[in-house]
Amino acid sequence: MKIISVVGARPNFMKIAPFIREITHYNKNHSNYNNYLLDHILVHTGQHYDDRMSKSFFKALDIPEANINLGIGSGSHAYQVGTTMIEFEKVLEKEKPDWIVVLGDVNSTLACSVTAKKQNVKVCHIEAGLRSNDMTMPEEINRLVTDRLSDLLLTPDEISVKNLLNEGVDKRKIKFVGNIMIDTLEANRKKAEALNIPEIIESNLFKDGSYNRNYNNIDEFVLMTLHRPSNVDDKSLLMPIIDLLTSEIADQLPIIWPVHPRAKKQLENFGLWEQLRNHKNVFLLEPLGYIEMLKLNINARVMLTDSGGLQEECNVLNTPCLTLRWNTERPVTLRENGGVSVLVGNDINLIKREFYNVMKNKYKARVPEFWDGQTAGRCLKSIIEYKQ
Ligand code: UD1
């Protein structure tokens, strides 16, 4: 059986690592049955291309170098999807796989699943069934189209199974396998725990943000990330958040913020970068490697983020998470469902109120079923045992 797995952007890399490990493991254990070895090809679309957004993850997570890199890079959504389709079609024509495996909800996921389906290649979607019901999110469109086309939909939780059934997906196509990202978290937890926070800060501070800072005694801190267009592309929404951070939150606790390239660009465009940089308790870092970020998450007092993946990781690490969005495709992480995440959108008063609430009150997360570090095995088994 020939499988092509596709990765494109940062949140894909931690999900593919355990899947590839599982394929290697399978082939080792089936080497006596040559006719049933899995032939695996890894395609990187190149949507994320910086060392810090891509290469560092391959290295830290032991992902073999991609067999094929499509070199797509930045651009509008139509550009990214269109050029990925054109290039991926050539790969399919040459390689003629039985399956393609796509992950998550990035532009590469959408582009490759559409291209594969048009070539009659079976599509397996890992992390199927998540829904924010917000059609202004590019990721929601990517999720809907990919799930509509997929032959095998592997879901991280039971809510996602229900979403798919409600949309009329044939239940034989759906398998509840758990959260593959947690495989990577568990595989790297010990390594992360051994890291040293001042060293992480020292080696990742933006050169222009590093003067006169004392970070040797930081033990309690807020961990912050922001990258969604809905938060960072609109000055009237971003400015009040930055004001809140610099006029109140950073006076309570140091803020460590690994800055996504899109957020950095917009903070500079809107003249907000200096305001952050000048606060002595704000530490602006380059995008971090997986294990460094995991270490910070393990130790953070509070997370402020608009990332879906971090919401999930907080749930396993029991880090209170203020989610700077008005909806989530991952309701299983919400406090009302036993998780640690609270939706605070961009309402400054709500962010403040929840910040002081989680500083005062402890919440204990319930880890969802099958978020146990063993999901990749269930994914591969579902593909191998697939019956039309
Ligand atoms: C993408 C995903 C999003 C995911 C996020 C995580 C889509 C629609 N969005 O958003 O779901 O949560 O990745 O990181 O696929 N850039 C660099 N270096 C890089 C990559 C990007 O500088 O390696 C810059 C580019 O200038 C670009 C901007 O960052 O303009 C945004 O990159 P883009 O690929 O459009 O998507 P993300 O916002 O990162």
227: annotated active-site residue: yes
Mean pLDDT of the region 260-281: 95
- Indicate whether 211 pLDDT > 90: no
CA 303 to centroid of chain Cα atoms: 15
CA distance 39 to 100: 12
Q: What values do phi and psi take at 118, rounded to 5?
A: -70, -20
Decide whether any atom of ligand 1 lies within 6 Å of the 287 Cβ.
Answer: no
What mean pLDDT comes out for the span 250-270?
97
Q: What angle do CA 335, 164, 385 make, to 5 degrees?
A: 110
Residue 30 CA to ligand 1 center (angstroms) comes to 39
- What is the C-alpha separation between 54 and 278, in angstroms, rounded? 29
**Overall average pLDDT of the 78-86 stretch:** 98
Q: How many CA atoms lie within 13 A of 105 on its CB side?
A: 20
- pLDDT of amino acid 33: 60
> What percent of the chain clears pLDDT 90, i.e. is strictly above it?
92
Min mean pLDDT across 85-89, 101-105, 145-149, 275-279 is at 275-279
The more confident residue out of 126 and 363 is 126
Evaluate: CB of 11 within 6 angstroms of ligand 1.
yes
Mean pLDDT of 55-76: 97
Angle at 5 between CA 127 and CA 306, to 5 degrees: 40
- For residue 373, what pLDDT band results from cuts at 50, 70 and 90? very high
Query: What does the block give as tokens for 124?
Result: 């397996």
Q: Catalytic pick from 125, 227, 260, 279?
A: 227
Q: Is the CB of 49 under 6 A from ligand 1?
A: yes
The Cα 155–Cα 126 span in angstroms is 7
DSSP letter for each residue of 65-96: PPSEE----S--HHHHHHHHHHHHHHHHHHH-
For the entire predicted model, the pTM comes to: 0.96
Summarised one tens digit per residue, pLDDT across range 162-189 is 999 999 999 999 999 999 999 999 999 9
Q: Give the Å distance between the CA of 45 and the centre of ligand 1.
A: 13
Please tell me the distance from the alpha carbon of residue 312 to that of residue 321, in angstroms, as a whole number. 9
Q: What is the mean pLDDT of the chain?
A: 95
Token pair 């069934």 is found at 129
Dist CA 206 CA 214 (whole Å): 15
Q: Give the pLDDT mean for 345-352.
A: 97
pLDDT tens per residue across span 21-38: 999 999 998 876 655 789
| Å from CA of 9 to ligand 1 middle | 7
